[in-house]
Structure 1
Amino acid sequence: MEFPVQTANPAKVETACLVVPVFKDGDLLPAAAKLDDASERLIGQLIERGDFTAGLGNVQLIPFAPGLNAERLMLVGLGERDKCNEGNFRKALDAAFDALAGLPVGDAAVAMIDVPVPNRDSQWKARMTAEASLRAVYRFTEFKSEPTPAAKLERVTLLVSESDDAEHAKEGARIGAAVGEGINYTRTLGNLPGNVCTPRYLAEQAEQLGKASEGKLEVDILDEAALEELGARTLLSVGRGSEEPSRLIVMRYQGASDPDEAPHVLIGKGITFDTGGISLKPGAEMDEMKFDMCGAASVFGTVKAALAIQPRINLVAVVAAAENMPDGRATKPGDIIKTLKGLTVEVLNTDAEGRLVLCDALTYSERFEPASVIDIATLTGAAIIALGHHATGLLSNDDDLALDILEAGETAWDRAWHLPLWEEYQQQLESNFADLANIGGRPAGTITAACFLSRFADKFPWAHLDIAGTAWQSGKQKGATGRPVGLLTQYLLDREADAQVEK
């Protein structure tokens, strides 16, 4: 999708649909005021007569607008002026683009840069606009014999009232387009069924990204023989009951001027289907366990975004991919496995498998001598109980890293919430027979899962993102969300900014 920026009088802009934001109270915003003047107070009359109420997310399409060059005019409500914040701005964007995606229009012009969002500039607003447009036109129709018609929208012009804002808006649109494409790529990987999206399929996706990158992304795939030789036995133990072989996927992006600059490492849990293994899950909604690789999918999406943006940092992406199935060879409750780090783990529940693949990936990451490591995983149902479906759970062994991630989440509006990682929780993982158990009981399940991972992250600043509540949604709108690609990409952009300041 294209995102040109214009500073022209909106009344003279030629487009199939012109999107204009309106507050419930106060004066019209600059673009809306110019359009109102050019159209003989069309907007003002609609509001005064009650034909349009500017409640948050309310949308009204006006098929003919006299005095304007646009074929259609769309009003989108912003709600009350003093309540306008990042979340409400994004809600208005989503409402507008959802409506646009259902229209037979190939291009639109939007005046959302005019909206005053406290502490957010034109670059941020342009980024959010580009992201919202790409999220809205996304369709997953690969397996439909009669797919829903694709959205026709291919060009969104960003209107800015001040010429000084144009360059900032262009940069914001560039980043937003990259993040939006990364989000949609993540959604597609998450939505694919488990009989298609296997560990080998994810490895093929990495190889395709590498080929398309024109040398910017180096890809290594460790098969089961290589993992056995390496000693990654906990990762291998999860996939023992499956016909699908496990994989460790490593993608390296060199963007810093110094190739030896310490990289930032992202690790994704890639359980392409999770039956629970011998500790079999209940049948209800087990189909949604194809989403158990959304941590890996978000890493792929972030890599895709980074390749488009090309930040001046070094990045390593590691995906631990396996399928967790019950079989005669499958790991059993009570089995003891030796990890790549050398610690032994008593497997009390084979449905706590994500931490088993991640612990070997964390140990593997030590070789990169990283500046930071973030793992992303649909790890615990307890995260949903604690935080619902709004915030990603964040736990870390480094407070500065945690604050950086929280800040990135606020900027991207892909927010996380910091949970404690106190030493007192570690005792729940004690085992009579091994160095530690893979579960710590029902209390504080999200925290004890992170405590387990922390035992393998003692060589570097590390954070864990539990996305069990945010990676997908259930019900009528079932599907992967693409989170937390926005947060992760912003984190990398912030590290680039920090590095440039230090230089």
Structure 2
Amino acid sequence: MLPLRRAALWGLRRDHSRALSLSPTHRDAQKGLVLGVYEQEQEDGGPSFTESAEAFDRSLSGGLRELLAVSGPALKRGKSRIFYGVHKDFPSVVLVGLGKPSAGVCAQESWDQRRENIRAAAAVGCRQLQELEVSVVEVDACGDAQAAAEGAVLGLFEYDELKQKKKTAVDARLHGSSGAADWHRGVLYAEGQNLARHLMEAPANYVTPTAFAETIQQRLSPLSDKVTVHMRPQSWIEDHQMGAFLSVSKGSEEPPVFLEIHYRGGPSASQPPLVLVGKGVTFDSGGISLKPSSGMDAMRADMGGAATVCSAVVTAAALNLPLNIVGLAPLCENMPSGKANKPGDVVRAKNGKTIQIDNTDAEGRLILADALCYAHSLNPRAIVNAATLTGAMDVALGSAAAGVFTNSDWLWDHLQKAGAVTGDRVWRMPLFQHYTRQVTESQLADLNNVGKYSRSGGACTAAAFLREFVSAPHWAHLDIAGVMSNKDEVPYLRKGMSGRPTRTLVEFAAGLSREV
């Protein structure tokens, strides 16, 4: 074997890393290792290794540190450098930048920067090895095994099951034995979000309302001892007088499904459940108020609320959280057929209130209205609904955070803390009577589905509309339209549908379970 310093001089330069190789045959090796490196705190100081990286360096008699020193400038946060052939067990070793070791909770950013750095680092390291077709990757816990697992599993996901050429399947494992329980928890959190991403990314002709419900039912079938899944058909929806929901679904040839999931994790069946409600429009054409064709394909993900809510219940069940949860998802398509809603139509919701439909593209609030009414019959401890509801939410917050409208400071506190832990943040929005007046002044009915000024405060008037179907003291509406997809904003998610804020909903439920 060549001396390490001499080997380092055979570097292959890349924009994001420097690859150092002892032998090109090592590129075909099937095992890799991702290790963390902190930035120097002082200008005259050097980088510091994580505990695992330090131990690995000692096994090489300081060789890893030597390689890093001669390979180029300091390794910045989120950047990587790969070395080949330095260890017999790990032919490919990636060092990833973790940023400053002093990083922690940042009140201004409303998240834990250290955890975010770990997620990003684990993702970039695993992706780099995946591109080299390495099938087994061990990942440094970097001081937080759950965050490392989330970054690794989220970073590796890509929806390619309809392509002939697929990404290499990578088995990401914890390096070492310390933190195994936290690693497993992080894997479950990330797999939950990946389930939501899978549902949101898949074409609408593959994920119909029925197919969506069957997918969730299949995922929960191994847990049938503590989970019951009901796929309520159209006849049931009609019997429960969900006229608003039915009015949206009637424009499509696909039958609607009201999906109801009961997870029994609490100490008793009588414990009031947390009720999660998700908008499940599996394709939204806009109906008669047809959307522009540009970008309409993304409306296959308009069931993002249902995807995140149902995936959160799946994850909570896998974690065996000690509380009862009910997940509700009204599932349908919004299509412009001869049977579809027309602007000016009036429909009656489950609670008897009439709704004038001035824009058929404001359909999500209609199906949620009936679902929220039904949620009250379950004696809820709290009701939280999620929906890709308004483009106005995207305009207001972009992809930085999901907007939260709530009548409960207690609920807001729990949601905000959960978002800070997961890095998938939320931001509180107003529920003023100012907006309520805009949706209750209607020419033909009790409510108007878009309000007096359809372009002003659209996210707020939509929330005010939903509030007309809520009497529970603890209710929150999450408008997740702005976080529906990822371009390059979240470094540990590839481009595409994001599955946000699944992990925040799971963490929120976990926080409530600790209060039981």
Structures share fold, TM-score greater than 0.5 = yes
Q: How many angstroms apart in 2 are the aligned matches of 1:111 and 1:283?
A: 45
CA spacing shift, 1:196–1:496, aligned 2, 3 Å: same
- Is residue 277–residue 327 contact of structure 2 (8 Å, CA) maintained in 1? yes
Q: Which amino acid aligns with 1:148?
A: K
Identify which range, 366-375 or 476-485, moves more after superposition: 476-485
- Is residue 119–residue 150 contact of structure 2 (8 Å, CA) maintained in 1? no
Q: In the alignment, what sits opposite 1:72?
A: 92
CA spacing shift, 1:107–1:206, aligned 2, 3 Å: closer
Q: For residues 28-67 of structure 1, what are the alpha-carbon distances to aligned partners after superposition, in whole Å with 9 as ceiling and x for unaligned?
A: 233333333432433333343352531111111110216x
Q: In the alignment, what sits opposite 1:142?
A: 161
Q: Is 1:456 aligned to 2:469, yes or no?
A: yes
Alignment of 1:270-309 (within 5 A): 270-309=280-319
Q: How many angstroms apart in 2 are the aligned matches of 1:241 and 1:111?
A: 52
- Is residue 134–residue 168 contact of structure 2 (8 Å, CA) maintained in 1? no
- How far residue 92 of structure 1 moved from its aligned partner, in angstroms, is 1.6
CA spacing shift, 1:46–1:211, aligned 2, 3 Å: closer
- Is residue 370–residue 460 contact of structure 1 (8 Å, CA) maintained in 2? no
Q: For residues 275-316 of structure 1, what are the alpha-carbon distances to aligned partners after superposition, in whole Å with 9 as ceiling and x for unaligned?
A: 100111111010111010111111221122122111110010
CA spacing shift, 1:257–1:82, aligned 2, 3 Å: closer
Q: How many angstroms apart in 2 are the aligned matches of 1:87 and 1:70?
A: 26
Q: In the alignment, what sits opposite 1:339?
A: 349
Q: How many angstroms apart in 1 are the aligned matches of 2:137 and 2:421?
A: 26
RMSD (CA atoms): 2.0
- How far residue 423 of structure 1 moved from its aligned partner, in angstroms, is 1.5
Q: Select which of 479, 491, 498 maps to 1:466.
A: 479
Residue 405 of structure 1 aligns to a residue whose secondary structure is helix
Q: In the alignment, what sits opposite 2:321?
A: 311
Residue 39 of structure 2 aligns to a residue whose secondary structure is coil
Q: In the alignment, what sits opposite 2:442?
A: 431
Q: Which amino acid aligns with 1:78?
A: L
Q: Select which of 273, 277, 301 maps to 1:267.
A: 277
CA spacing shift, 1:478–1:281, aligned 2, 3 Å: farther
Alignment of 1:66-465 (within 5 A): 69-83=89-103, 85=113, 86-114=115-143, 125-144=144-163, 146-151=164-169, 153-159=170-176, 166=178, 169-429=179-439, 430-440=441-451, 441-465=454-478
Q: In the alignment, what sits opposite 1:117?
A: none
Residue 337 of structure 1 aligns to a residue whose secondary structure is strand
Alignment of 1:56-67 (within 5 A): 56-65=77-86
Q: How many angstroms apart in 2 are the aligned matches of 1:133 and 1:486?
A: 15
Q: How many angstroms apart in 1 are the aligned matches of 2:321 and 2:98?
A: 34
Identify which range, 22-31 or 181-190, moves more after superposition: 22-31
Identify which range, 218-227 or 256-265, moves more after superposition: 218-227
Q: Is 1:16 aligned to 2:13, yes or no?
A: no
Residue 449 of structure 1 aligns to a residue whose secondary structure is helix
Q: How many angstroms apart in 2 are the aligned matches of 1:392 and 1:267?
A: 16
- Is residue 265–residue 315 contact of structure 1 (8 Å, CA) maintained in 2? yes
Residue 469 of structure 1 aligns to a residue whose secondary structure is helix
Q: How many angstroms apart in 2 are the aligned matches of 1:202 and 1:330?
A: 22
Residue 184 of structure 1 aligns to a residue whose secondary structure is helix
Q: Which amino acid aligns with 2:53?
A: A
- How far residue 472 of structure 1 moved from its aligned partner, in angstroms, is 1.7
- How far residue 206 of structure 1 moved from its aligned partner, in angstroms, is 3.5
- How far residue 159 of structure 1 moved from its aligned partner, in angstroms, is 3.4
Q: For residues 369-416 of structure 1, what are the alpha-carbon distances to aligned partners after superposition, in whole Å with 9 as ceiling and x for unaligned?
A: 100111110000011111111211111011110111111111111111
Q: For residues 168-214 of structure 1, what are the alpha-carbon distances to aligned partners after superposition, in whole Å with 9 as ceiling and x for unaligned?
A: x2221222121121111111111111112111112222432343323
Q: Which amino acid aligns with 1:133?
A: A
- How far residue 83 of structure 1 moved from its aligned partner, in angstroms, is 4.5
Q: How many angstroms apart in 2 are the aligned matches of 1:409 and 1:182?
A: 16
- Is residue 137–residue 150 contact of structure 1 (8 Å, CA) maintained in 2? no
Q: For residues 85-133 of structure 1, what are the alpha-carbon distances to aligned partners after superposition, in whole Å with 9 as ceiling and x for unaligned?
A: 233232222211221322333333333334xxxxxxxxxx211111222
- Is residue 240–residue 329 contact of structure 1 (8 Å, CA) maintained in 2? yes
Q: Select which of 21, 42, 46 maps to 2:63.
A: 42
State the percentage of identical aligned residues: 34
Q: How many angstroms apart in 1 are the aligned matches of 2:119 and 2:156?
A: 16
Q: Which amino acid aligns with 1:354?
A: G
Unmatched runs of 5 consecutive residues or more in structure 1: 1-14, 115-124, 161-165
Q: How many angstroms apart in 2 are the aligned matches of 1:393 and 1:373?
A: 16
